[in-house]
Amino acid sequence: MTHKVTIGLPVYNGEAFIKESLDSLLAQTYSDFELIISDNASTDHTEAICREYAANDSRISYHRVDENLGAVPNFNRVFELSNSQYFKWAAADDVCAPNFLARCVDILDNNPSVVWCHSRSTHIDAKGNELSDVDAVNVSYAARQASKSHERFRAVLLGAGGCLDTYGLIRSEVIRKTPLFLPFYGAEKVFIAELALRGQYQEINEILFYPRVHSGGAGNLQTEVEQQAYMSTRSGSYKFPRLQMLKGYLQAILRSDISVKEKSQCLLVISRYLLQVEKWKRILVRTLSGAGIKGGNVDRIQQLEKQNPLS
């Protein structure tokens, strides 16, 4: 049986939060979906938990690899196992409101020009409590709703807020035109930039997605070595992720079927991206010190865990 929607959930050692994540997905008011779980050779109780859920719900299929390949191959694998009109990636530690899928499906069904859609988001901590600091509350990507491709591309490259819309609902036919996630830290931004070149984005003006901040999250990785090992265990040649991101953006522009004028506008966006002199100074210092592409969330997470320790 082919479902209209596939949810792909890649996981590695996710026992702490995966039950809550699975429960939120299975409680969706829109039910015409399959849930594909790809277990990246977990060594905790993840396998037992997933097999129990799969035994109790026919929409779930559980797949396991024999060795940890890294996050990127596992994220790509869940899509490669799918065959549906719409696709959504899900994380083993995040939570969706019950009407998330229904709202997203309605948008894609009624707006052929929209390639992907997502809701506003608010982060939660390890216990599921909503965070209150300004960077965590009501995260919005409304600027990506522009009508022209270069304006959407600019909103991704030069805007703030990350890429939580990676976990939105996306047209599978468009994903197939991309190289999926490339094996370096920050690849999700290149992927979203390519979606921006291929069609419109629409945001649900309501908080329906709750990404979790905790000590085991990828945002807590500090060094380039740690980050690269997390992304792919077989990509030793992918050094200098910022340069890999730049290459990814350029290749996405070349692959797109937008007009020559729009491509030129996108190249001007790349120029603005490169002319952020103060930013590149910081990046050079971090690169020379071996620090990763982001500073990580160590201090913030430690503070949260002191305020809300797990019982």
Q: What's the pLDDT at 133?
A: 87
Write down the domain spans for the chain: 5-220
235 pLDDT tier (thresholds 50, 70, 90): low
Q: What's the pLDDT at 208?
A: 98
Q: What's the pLDDT at 305?
A: 40
Task: Report the pLDDT averaged over residues 101-123.
Answer: 98
Stronger pLDDT, 221 or 268, i.e. the higher one: 268
* Rounded Cα gap, residues 152 and 155, in angstroms: 5
Q: What's the pLDDT at 2?
A: 86
32 pLDDT tier (thresholds 50, 70, 90): very high
- Asked whether residue 17 carries a pLDDT value surpassing 50, the answer given is yes
Q: What's the pLDDT at 242?
A: 82
Q: What's the pLDDT at 263?
A: 98
CATH topology of domain 5-220: Spore Coat Polysaccharide Biosynthesis Protein SpsA; Chain A (3.90.550)
- Asked whether residue 234 carries a pLDDT value surpassing 90, the answer given is no
Closest listed residue to residue 78, CA positions, set 43, 50, 102, 52:
50
186's CB contacts (< 8 A; 6+ apart) are 241, 242, 244, 245, 293
Using H for helix, E for strand and C for coil, what is the string for the chain? CCCCEEEEEEECCCCCCHHHHHHHHHCCCCCCEEEEEEECCCCCCHHHHHHHHHHHCCCEEEEECCCCCCHHHHHHHHHHCCCCCEEEECCCCCEECCCHHHHHHHHHHHCCCEEEEEEEECCECCCCCECCCCCCCCECCHHHHCCCHHHHHHHHHHCCCCCHHHHCEEEHHHHCCCCCCCCCCCHHHHHHHHHHHHCEEEEEEEEEEECECCCCCHHHCCEHHHHHHHHCCCCCCCCCHHHHHHHHHHHHHHHCCCCHHHHHHHHHHHHHHHCCHHHHHHHHHHHHHCECCCCCCHHHHHHHHHHCCCC
Q: What is the pTM of this model?
A: 0.89
240 pLDDT tier (thresholds 50, 70, 90): confident
Q: What's the pLDDT at 299?
A: 45
Q: What is the pLDDT of residues 50-82, one digit of tens each?
A: 999 999 999 999 999 999 998 999 999 999 999
Closest listed residue to residue 116, CA positions, set 73, 164, 82:
164
- Asked whether residue 302 carries a pLDDT value surpassing 50, the answer given is no
Task: Report the pLDDT averaged over residues 163-174.
Answer: 97
Q: What's the pLDDT at 57?
A: 97
- Asked whether residue 186 carries a pLDDT value surpassing 90, the answer given is no
Q: Which percentage of the chain shows pLDDT scores above 70?
A: 81
Q: What's the pLDDT at 282?
A: 64
Q: Which percentage of the chain shows pLDDT scores above 90?
A: 72
User: Per DSSP, what are the bridge partners of residue 120?
Assistant: 207
Q: What's the pLDDT at 309?
A: 34
